[in-house]
């Protein structure tokens, strides 16, 4: 009965699976999920820092993948990139709406505080030490790295990044842009 067993072959072409899913092929979708589910949950969990919420968002992400797989265009990027972009967007939206809710809940006690957690660049750096296994970030300067980490992993906007780091918005934008471009160029140079 269960031929076409669900086994995630590492060489499996995610792009092909995604396109088959777009055609309503639930088996391909299951294989796609098996190959990428842990990656998506890991990313979402890193942003949300809450296991239950992260699992919920992961499920929403894959439902969205199922619904909108037809909009994936292989000529414009990898399937994994498409999927993780979608996952990151949802995680960030969730963490921001949670932050907004929390701000509303505590409005009366934090009217005078712009950011409840006043973290300097140094402590932000320190907090990240434990998880610093990101070889991709190793090509960056320290300032680029913290700007990108705050944006990508903590879901901050570039305005919030500038506030958190205590630097002008233009500086934050430059760090984000230059850092990300450097990562891109590193990819192009091969690893």
Q: Which is nearer to another protein, 124 or 137 (CB)?
A: 137
Q: Which is nearer to another protein, 51 or 126 (CB)?
A: 51
d(CA 32, CA 57): 17
Shortest distance, CB of residue 147 to another protein, whole angstroms?
9
Shortest distance, CB of residue 100 to another protein, whole angstroms?
9
Q: Which of 179, 184, 138, 143 is nearest to 164 (CA)?
A: 143
Shortest distance, CB of residue 120 to another protein, whole angstroms?
18
Residue listed under structure tokens 């414009």: 76
d(CA 148, CA 58): 22
Q: Which is nearer to another protein, 11 or 188 (CB)?
A: 188
Q: Which is nearer to another protein, 59 or 123 (CB)?
A: 59
173 neighbors 158 (Cβ within 8 angstroms):
yes
Q: Which of 130, 41, 133, 53 is nearest to 87 (CA)?
A: 41
Q: Which is nearer to another protein, 54 or 124 (CB)?
A: 54
Shortest distance, CB of residue 65 to another protein, whole angstroms?
9
d(CA 168, CA 71): 38
Neighbours of 154 (CB within 10 A): 21
Shortest distance, CB of residue 184 to another protein, whole angstroms?
4
147 neighbors 165 (Cβ within 8 angstroms):
yes
Q: Which of 145, 152, 154 is nearest to 175 (CA)?
A: 145
């Amino acid at each position: 009965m269960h031929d076409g067993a669900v086994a995630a072959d590492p060489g499996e072409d995610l792009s092909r699976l995604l396109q088959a899913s777009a055609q309503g092929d639930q088996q391909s979708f299951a294989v796609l999920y098996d190959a990428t589910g842990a990656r998506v949950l890991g990313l979402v969990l890193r942003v949300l820092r809450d296991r239950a919420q992260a699992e919920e968002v992961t499920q929403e992400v894959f439902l969205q993948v199922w619904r909108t797989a037809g909009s994936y265009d292989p000529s414009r990027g990898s399937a994994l990139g498409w999927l993780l972009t979608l996952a990151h967007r949802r995680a960030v939206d969730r963490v921001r709406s949670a932050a907004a809710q929390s701000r509303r809940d505590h409005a009366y006690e934090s009217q005078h505080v712009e950011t409840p957690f006043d973290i300097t660049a140094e402590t932000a750096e320190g907090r990240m030490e434990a998880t610093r296994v990101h070889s991709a970030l190793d090509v960056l300067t320290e300032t680029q790295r913290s700007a990108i980490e705050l944006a990508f992993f903590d879901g901050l906007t570039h305005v919030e990044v500038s506030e958190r780091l205590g630097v002008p918005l233009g500086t934050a934008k430059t760090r984000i842009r230059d850092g990300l471009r450097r990562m891109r160029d590193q990819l192009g140079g091969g690893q």
